[in-house]
């Protein structure tokens, strides 16, 4: 069975709006060693369990597609002084007591807690001094962090989402943003997950009901026109 492609649905039920750069935030989600590294966290777990092949699509896409495009977006936002807000996930306690029980097994197995290398953002896309990093303890950032207050205080109306995993933390956060009135875009070629069909299904659903799906270059061109 052929995998449904996001571009096949780009003209259906599409939400229309024009980005205002000064009111737009780029929000990379969970690009940490715990979840986005081939050799640490999830990547290490899969290798130890003899399931390294299951992570091949995910980590190939992160390394070859997501990281270069996130770097391009970070460069553009930094050059023009636009808002960047990093989101991480992980425990801030030694015993993982701030994590809901259904998430503890993975968070613990991936050693994803504050102070550990696995909790850190990948060096290739790490924040510069002064750039905001908000930690969450749930899949969606709006459920366990101050992101809503921060966005409203900054006067942000448009949110651009990237990161991992597409159908989990990225989609949940983007949906919650839309439900709170933010005009939201998920950046197709700046997200990744374990399987292509998971990625595409999430973006097709998001586009039909919550916001827009765009590419890195499309977003940059739109922002450039309105600077």
Each residue's pLDDT tens digit, 5-26: 656 655 555 678 999 999 999 9
Each residue's pLDDT tens digit, 62-99: 999 999 999 999 999 999 999 999 999 999 999 999 99
Residues paired with residue 214 on neighbouring β-strands, in sequence order: 187
Whether the predicted pLDDT of 147 surpasses 60: yes
Which residues have a Cβ under 8 Å from the Cβ of 212 and sit 6 or more positions away? 14, 15, 17, 184, 185, 186
Q: Where are the alpha helices (DSSP H) in 23-118?
A: 33-36, 42-48, 56-61, 67-79, 104-109
Q: What is the pLDDT of residue 19?
A: 97
Say which residue, 174 or 3, is predicted with more confidence: 174
Which residues have a Cβ under 8 Å from the Cβ of 125 and sit 6 or more positions away? 28, 31, 67, 70, 71, 74
Domain boundary assignment for the chain: 20-225
CB 98 within 8 A of CB 90: no
Cis peptide bond N-terminal to 170, omega within 30: no
d(CA 190, CA 28): 9
Whether the predicted pLDDT of 185 surpasses 80: yes
Mean pLDDT, range 34-59, rounded to an integer: 97
Mean pLDDT, range 113-125, rounded to an integer: 98
Whether the predicted pLDDT of 139 surpasses 90: yes
d(CA 90, CA 136): 7
Q: What is the pLDDT of residue 16?
A: 84
CATH architecture of 20-225: 3-Layer(aba) Sandwich (3.40)
Which residues have a Cβ under 8 Å from the Cβ of 31 and sit 6 or more positions away? 66, 70, 86, 121, 122, 125, 162, 163, 164
Q: What is the pLDDT of residue 17?
A: 94
- Provide the whole-model pTM: 0.94
Which residues have a Cβ under 8 Å from the Cβ of 41 and sit 6 or more positions away? 32, 33, 34, 35, 110, 111, 112, 118
d(CA 2, CA 65): 22
Whether the predicted pLDDT of 125 surpasses 90: yes
- Stretch (H or E) spanning 81: none
**178, 179, 142, 184: which is closest to 162 by C-alpha?**
184
């Amino acid at each position: 069975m052929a995998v449904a492609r996001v571009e096949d649905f780009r003209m259906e039920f599409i939400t229309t709006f024009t980005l205002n750069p000064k009111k737009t935030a780029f929000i990379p989600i969970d690009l940490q060693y715990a979840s986005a590294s081939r050799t640490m966290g999830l990547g290490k777990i899969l290798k130890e369990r003899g399931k390294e092949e299951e992570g091949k699509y995910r980590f190939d896409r992160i390394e070859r597609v997501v990281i270069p495009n996130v770097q391009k977006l970070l460069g553009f936002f930094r050059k023009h002084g636009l808002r960047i807000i990093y989101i991480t996930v992980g425990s801030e306690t030694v015993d993982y007591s701030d994590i809901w029980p259904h998430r503890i097994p993975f968070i613990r197995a991936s050693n994803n807690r504050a102070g550990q290398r696995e909790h850190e953002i990948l060096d290739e896309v790490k924040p510069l001094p002064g750039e905001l990093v908000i930690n969450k303890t749930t899949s969606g950032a709006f459920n366990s962090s101050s992101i809503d207050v921060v966005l409203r205080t900054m006067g942000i109306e448009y949110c651009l989402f990237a990161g991992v995993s597409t159908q989990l933390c990225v989609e949940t956060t983007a949906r919650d943003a839309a439900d709170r009135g933010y005009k939201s875009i998920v950046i197709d070629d700046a997200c990744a997950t374990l399987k292509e069909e998971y990625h595409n299904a999430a973006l097709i659903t998001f586009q039909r009901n919550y916001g827009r799906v765009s590419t890195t270059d499309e977003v940059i061109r739109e922002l450039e026109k309105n600077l």
